[in-house]
Structure 1
Amino acid sequence: MKKEIKICMSPYKIVYSVLFLLLFSLVMGVAVIPEIGRTIIPGAAILAFVFCAETRVMDQSGQRWEIFLLKPLSGRICTIYRRWLIQVLYLYVLFLVWYFVFFWQNPYPIRERPLETEYGYYAVALLGTILFWSLLTLVISNAAKSQWIGIGVSAVVWIITNSKTGEALFGRYNLFAYSASHPVKGKTADWIFGTMIQIAIAALFVLLIPWIEKRVSK
C-alpha cells in the first residue's frame, strides 16, 4: 500500500490540489453558510476528474509499465482499485476540511439551517460527487488509454450538467442538483436523488473496471 501511495500521490498532485482549493476559496464568494457546500461541489468535481484521470495510465512511461503488465490480470485490477481508493480518500478528507476555510469570508449563519445539518448534507453530496467524477474519468481514461480523453469527456459532461440547461433538463435528478438547490429554502428532496444517481452510476463503474482492464490488455 505504501508503494501505491507513493506512486499515485506524487508531491506535484498534492501541491496543485491545494493550490486549486486556495484559489477557489479566494475567487468564489459566499454570503451565507449554506452556500459554502453548494459553491464547493462543482470545484470538487473538476479536481476529482483531473486528479484521478491517470490512475491506471500513469505507468505507461518508463519501466513501471513493463512491470505493471507483468502482473496477472487480477493483480492489475487490485492495483487500480487501491490507487483509486487512496486518491478518493485524500480528496474526500481534503474537501471536508476545506469547507471551513470559507469561513474567512465570515458567511452569515442561518438559524433555520444549523451548521451541523448543512455540513452533514454537504458530506453526503460530496461523497456522491467524488465517487462519480473520479470513476467517470478513470473508466474513460482506461478504455481510451489516455488520461486526456478521460479529462476531456468528463469536462464536457461537467459543462452540460453544471449549467442552466442541465438544471432544466434533469431537475432534481441532475448531477449538480445539490449546488442548484436553494441555500435557505431548499429541501433534501430537491437534491438527494441526484446524489443517489451519482452513487449508483459510480457502483456500475466499479463493476466495469475489471471488464475494461481485460479488454485493453489484449
Structure 2
Amino acid sequence: MPSNLFYRMASIIQLLLSLCALFAVLSQALPVDVEDRELSPPKDLTIDDIVYGGTGCPQGSASVQIAADGKSFTARFKSFSAELGTGSLVDSRKFCQLNLALKAPVGWQYAVLATNFTGAALLGSGTKASHTSTVYFSGSTNQTAFTLPLYGAAKYIYNIQAASVVGGAAWSPCGSDTALNIKSELSITGTGAGEIIEFGESGKLSRIFELGWRKC
C-alpha cells in the first residue's frame, strides 16, 4: 500500500502527468476494428493454467480471474514496487510475468485491446523511473509494449488507460491454444534515490485487461 506521502502529492502534477500520458497513448495507439470490440464473446472461455513469477510477484502473490461476461480478466497482486538508494540493485528493477493458458473455443480468436494501471513515484535529482507493460503470445515475435517514463526530481501520481496499445491487433492464432504472456516492469536508474509503486483502489493492486473477440 502506498505511503501517506504519495497521497499528499500536488493535484496539478497529477493532472499534467495524466494529460501527457493520455497524449502518449493516443499517439501510439493502433487501430482496432469496432466490430471486434463489440462482438459478443463465446460463453465457454476458460483458463486452463496460470504460471507466474519474477522479482515483483513471488509464488503465492498473484491470481487471475475472468469476468462472467468474458469481456475482460483481472490480475491481482499483493505488492509491486521498486526503489533506488536504500537497498540492493535488485530492488531497483522489479518485474512480474504472467503466462496464461487461456482456452478459446474452436473458431474464435481473442486479443487484449486495453488495460489500465495506476501508480506513484517519488524521484530524487538525477533519477529516472519507468513503468512498462508488454503483451505477446508464446512463439510470436510480435510484442506490443507501452512504457511510461518519469524523471526526477519530481513527485507523480498517474492512472494510465492504455487502449489498443497493450495487445493491440495481436490476435491469438486460430486452431491452437497459445499461451498469453503479460510482463510488467518497474525500474529506477540514476545517481539519486527514489521509489516507484503500482497500486489500485483502496490500496488493492489489480489490473484489468479488456478482451476483444472475432471469428477465425
Which of the pair is proportionally richer in helix?
A: 1
Which of the pair is proportionally richer in strand?
A: 2
The answer to whether TM tops 0.5 is no
TM-score normalised by length of structure 2:
0.29
TM-score normalised by length of structure 1:
0.29
Q: Which has the higher contact order (CA 8 A, sep 6+)?
A: 2
